Amino acid sequence: MPMTTDATATPLFTPADAERIVGAPASTTRRWLEGYAFDHKGERRTKGPRLGPSATRIDGVLLMSFLDLVEVHMARIMRRHGVSWPNIDRAAAFFRDAWHNPHPFALQRFRSDSRSVFVELGRGIGDNSLLQLGANQFVFDALIEQSLFDVLDFREDGVPWRLWPRGRDAQVVVDPARSFGEPILDAQGVPVRMIAAAYAANDNRIDRVARWFDLPVEAVEAAIRYEVAARLAA
């Protein structure tokens, strides 16, 4: 499968956006996308990028694509469940080659196929931790987390194209083809950050904001709930 050329691969999101949308610290995301330098036994060493084949700097600003953002989210989940970076690196290289796609962790087939591939990879390189990861249903289910895929909409080719950061019931979606990837109210298309700013500037009057934007009160409440949750998670 070739790299997509549509909005899902367009650099739109900053590390700060990743922190706000998927909860990955901006500093961590920056290191994953660009690499970093460190001292080891008096020697200066560097580590190259681990994720983000679409990431680039534009006018000095580091930007990643929607697919990069999804993979940052996936890597954060793997790290949270104790998967080491060497194993993530090996798995990423294996999946990229096997599936001919630069964003393997973002693909829908990762949910259905990756357990068997982890087993194959573990056997191939003699890594018992990867072998266990693939063979152990409990560990694997904890790793991929059903909810991760429940909050993604996939195209027919298995590539994600929309993300519901707080779940579908929250009414807020991230769609790289709409409002440059800003979290928006799905039904009305209004950026939630704009609604929250108007709410704060008008004595927290939901009814007034609803009239200004010609929105149902319930939609304004949903936007404010999303912004509050995003700030608490950051």
DSSP string over 98-128: HHT-S-GGGSTHHHHHHHHHHHHHHHHHT-H
Residue 88 has pLDDT above 50, yes or no: yes
Task: Give tens-digit pLDDT for 190-227.
Answer: 999 999 999 999 888 999 999 999 999 999 999 999 99
Express each pLDDT in 129-154 by its tens digit.
Answer: 665 665 655 555 655 665 667 889 99
Maximum mean pLDDT: which of 6-15, 89-98, 99-108? 6-15
pLDDT at 1 (0 to 100) = 37
Confidence of residue 3 (pLDDT cuts 50, 70, 90): very low
Out of 34-43, 126-135, 164-173, 221-230, least confident range: 126-135
Instruction: Concatenate the DSSP letters of all residues of 168-218 into one string.
Output: GGG-EEB-TTSGGG--EETTT--BHHHHHHHHHHTTT-HHHHHHHHT--HH
Mean pLDDT of the chain: 86
DSSP 3-state percent helix, strand, coil across the chain (nearest 5): 55, 15, 30
Q: Region 24-48: what's the mean pLDDT?
A: 92
- 8, pLDDT greater than 90: yes
How far apart (Å, rounded) are the C-alpha atoms in residues 213 and 188?
Answer: 10
Q: Is 94 left (phi over 0), alpha (psi -120 to 50) or beta?
A: alpha
Q: DSSP secondary-structure letter at 102?
A: S
3-state secondary structure of 88: helix
Tokens 């152990």 correspond to 136
- pLDDT, residue 231, reads 79
Note the pTM of the prediction, 2 decimals. Answer: 0.86
Residue 91: its pLDDT value, please? 81
pLDDT for the residue 215: 96
